[in-house]
Amino acid sequence: MVKQAGAKKPERYELGRVQDRVTFLYLEHAKLNRQNSAIQVVDQRGIVDVPAAILSVLMLGPGVDVTHRAMELIGESGLGVVWVGEHGVRQYAYGRALNHSSALLEAQARLVSNQHSRLAVAREMYQMRFPHDDVSQLTMQQLRGKEGARVRRVYLEQSERTGVAWSHREYNPDNFEEGTPINKALTAAHQALYGLSYSVISALGASAGLGFVHTGHDLSFVYDFADLYKAEFSIPVAFSVTAKVGNDPDIGTKTRLAMRDAFTDGKLLVRMVKDLKALLGLTQADEVADTISLWDDRLGLQKFGVQYHELQEDDTK
């Protein structure tokens, strides 16, 4: 019997559902390795083993080294990874989707490729932000104007609530430190929300790049999806943290910790999974995993793994 190289790949039933996982874990100045089915984190304080199947996304800050075996486990577990660099510069990566069905991706591609269905989904995303108004007949231009006014109002309301002065949003990806405390907190809060959104989208098998409102970027749908929750999560958290810590040089870390608590208290993962499926029109019956078929323009879906050339030879006899 040939010995299998590497660790045994986990079965699907061994992996936690996305909506039941811990939202995210931020690490910096540490070495990540694999210990059985756990990510082993080693830093100057000691060693901690973190079960990969309970995490949704890892946020890796400066000074993190990751071994090949750790990345192997991350990929097998469908665990999202957000590389968080200095000065607010982020790079994104992710493992294989937990949902091995392509149903969600196919639904997304179908909806975004038709102008009428794309507009319908975009309106639905705006409708979620205006539950008391009917936006079904508004144009995209009108929706953008309505949303812009809403966001400005949210910023002013949070400024009045916390006493944090507010003028306008500033974000320089090349110089995080030059921003005001509230702008630095907003950047950290939004990035945590983007990371969680990215992880859910990828884990369920959808595309981060096929956006309905945003377009032309490999993270267009991440920005679409995260915008649904900013007014409830990242903006209030950023203002609250700034009011509490002021010009603290560690405001980014403290904001991320506050976002993690807000995600947990608000059960955001559960909501995100439900909202994403609803937006793309996926029902429970559509979620069929680990099934591969061959497409045929006349015969419909055909079985995978059949030696069709042998069948054709039999037909000629």
- Report the DSSP pairing between strands 80-84 and 55-60: parallel
Return the H-helix or E-strand segment holding 235.
Answer: helix 234-245
To the question of whether residue 227 is assigned a binding role by annotation, the answer is yes
Q: How far apart are CA 174 and CA 47, in angstroms?
A: 33
- Long-range contacts made by residues 157-162, C-beta under 8 angstroms, separation at least 24? 158/235, 158/236, 158/239, 159/239, 161/236, 161/239, 162/239, 162/240, 162/242, 162/243
Burial zone of 109 (CB within 10 Å; 0-12 exposed, 13-18 middle, 19+ buried): middle
Question: Which parts of the chain register pLDDT below 50?
Answer: 1-7, 10-16
Q: What is the pLDDT of residue 28?
A: 87
> Backbone phi, then psi, for 303, in 5-degree steps?
-65, 140
Model pLDDT, residue 286: 54
The greatest distance separating any two alpha carbons of the chain, rounded to the nearest whole angstrom, comes to: 86
Please tell me the predicted confidence (pLDDT) of residue 242.
Answer: 97
pLDDT at 170: 86
The structural domains of the chain, ordered by start, are 12-94 (3.100.10.20), 103-286 (1.20.120.920)
Q: From CA 158, how far away is CA 192, in angstroms rounded?
A: 19
DSSP collapsed to 3 states, 34-46? EECCEEEEEECCE
Distance from C-alpha of 205 to C-alpha of 221, rounded to nearest angstrom: 13
Question: Left (φ > 0), alpha (ψ -120 to 50) or beta: where does 264 sit?
Answer: alpha
DSSP string, 50-80: EEGGGEEEEEE-TTEEE-HHHHHHHHHTT-E
* pLDDT value, residue 15: 45
The answer to whether the annotation marks 214 as part of a ligand binding site is yes
Contact 198, 192 (CB under 8 A): no
Q: How far is CA 58 from CA 31, 78, 80, 165, in A?
A: 13, 11, 6, 32
